[in-house]
Structure 1
Amino acid sequence: MHTIELDYVRKHEKLAGKALLMVLAALLVLLLSAWYYLSVSHEVERRAQRVADNRHTLQRLQPARERPRDKGLDQAINQANAVWQSLNQPWPALFSALEQSKTDDVALLAVEPDPLKHSVRITAEVKKREAMLSYIERLEQQPGLGSVVLLEHHINQQDNEKPFRFSVLAAWKPEP
C-alpha cells in the first residue's frame, strides 16, 4: 500500500506568484483609470473655457440694449417725419391736374392739400351753377385726382353778381 504523506506546512509558491500578478494587474488598471480621469478632466476644462470665450464673444457682438428715449425726442422725430412726408409728395402732378382743369369761368380761392390723407380741398367761385358742375367733372377726369366730392356750395349774397362759392374734396393719387 502506498503511504500517505500529510504535510500541512507546505509552501504555496504557485499562489504567491498568482497573487503578485493580480496585484500588478490591479495597479495597472488603477493607473490607467487615473490617466483617463485626468485626460477627461483636462478636456472638460478646455471645453468650459471655449464656452466661456464664445459667451464673451456673443455678448460683445450683440447690439447694446437701447435706453429709453426721451418723449420730447420722439415727438421731434414724429414732427420731422411728418414734414418730410409732406415734402415728399407728388406736388407737380397735383398742380398739373389743377392747371389742366381750370377755365376762365372758375376762380380758385383756396387749395388745401393734406399730404397725410392724400387729399386736397379746393375752394372756388363761379358765376353759374353749370360752370361749377363742369369744373367738378373736369377734376374727376384728371389722372392725378380721383373721387371728387362736392362738400358744400352756397350763393354769396354779399357780392352784387351773386356767384356760387363751393368746396370740393378730391383724392390725391400718387404718381405711378
Structure 2
Amino acid sequence: MKLLPNAPAAVDLDFAPARRRRPGALGWSLLAIGLLAASFAGYEFWAAERELDERAALVARLRTELRQERPQQAVRNAALVSAEEREPADRVAGALNADWASFFADLADASHPEVALLELQGDAARGSLRMVGEAQSVEAAFAYVDRLQRAGMLREARIDSHEWVTQGPQMVVRFVLTAQWRPAS
C-alpha cells in the first residue's frame, strides 16, 4: 500500500532472523574439550590438595617427635661438650639473647626532634655501645646524652668527638657517643 506517489519502498529491518540455528559439530566438540580441560584442572587441584594435607600431617608428626626428643638430646649434648667449648658458645648466646627490645625502647624514649641517629654499633658481649648522630646544637646533643643515661640502660655515656657539618642551608653538629651498656639479665 502506497500512501504517497513518490515515496520509497518500505524497508524491512530484521537484525535477528526468526529461525534458530542448531549447534553444529564444531560447537559440540569445543564444549567437550572445555569440559575435559575443566575436569582435568579439577583433578589436579584435588590431587595437589591431598598432597598438601599429607605433608601437613607429616610436619605435625615430625614436630611432635622433635618436641619429645629435644630434652633427651640436650642432656646427651651437654655431656659431650667440654667447658672450653661451651664458654664461647655461651658468650655468643648471651649476645644474641640480650634484651634488645628494652634497649631500643629506651633509645626511642630518649629521642628528640633536634637529634637524629645515623649509626649504632652495639656489642652486648662487651657491653659497649657506639653511636653517631646529628643535632641542631651542641646543647641538644648533650641533652640527648643525658636523657639516654637517665633511661637506665647506659652508663658512662659521653660524647667523644663532635664537628660542625653543613647540611643544606643550615649547620648541624655531628657527634660520636660511646657508652657502657647494661644488658638486662
- Normalization by structure 1: what TM-score? 0.51
Shift in CA distance, 78/159, structure 1 to aligned 2, threshold 3 Å: farther
Shift in CA distance, 76/122, structure 1 to aligned 2, threshold 3 Å: same
Residue in 2 that maps onto 1:117: 126
Residue in 1 that maps onto 2:156: 147
Aligned length: 104
Q: Distance in 1 between matches of 2:157 and 2:126?
A: 14
Unaligned runs of 5+ in 2: 1-79
Q: Is the 8 A contact 1:153 1:165 kept in 2?
A: yes
Q: Secondary structure, in 3 states, of the residue corresponding to 1:102?
A: coil
Give the alignment partner of residue 98 of structure 1, picking from 104, 107, 123: 107
Q: Distance in 2 between matches of 1:106 and 1:122?
A: 12
5 Å-filtered alignment, 1:16-165, equals: 80-157=89-166, 160-165=169-174
RMSD in angstroms over aligned alpha carbons?
2.7
Residue in 2 that maps onto 1:22: none
Letter in 2 for 1:153: H
- Normalization by structure 2: what TM-score? 0.49
Q: Distance in 2 between matches of 1:142 and 1:157?
A: 31
Q: Distance in 1 between matches of 2:156 and 2:146?
A: 10
Task: Give CA deviations for 1:45-92 in whole Å, capped at 9, x if unaligned.
Answer: xxxxxxxxxxxxxxxxxxxxx9xxxxxxxx997765553232111111
Greater CA drift, 94-103 or 156-165: 156-165
The structure number with the bigger radius of gyration is 1
Q: Distance in 2 between matches of 1:92 and 1:158?
A: 32
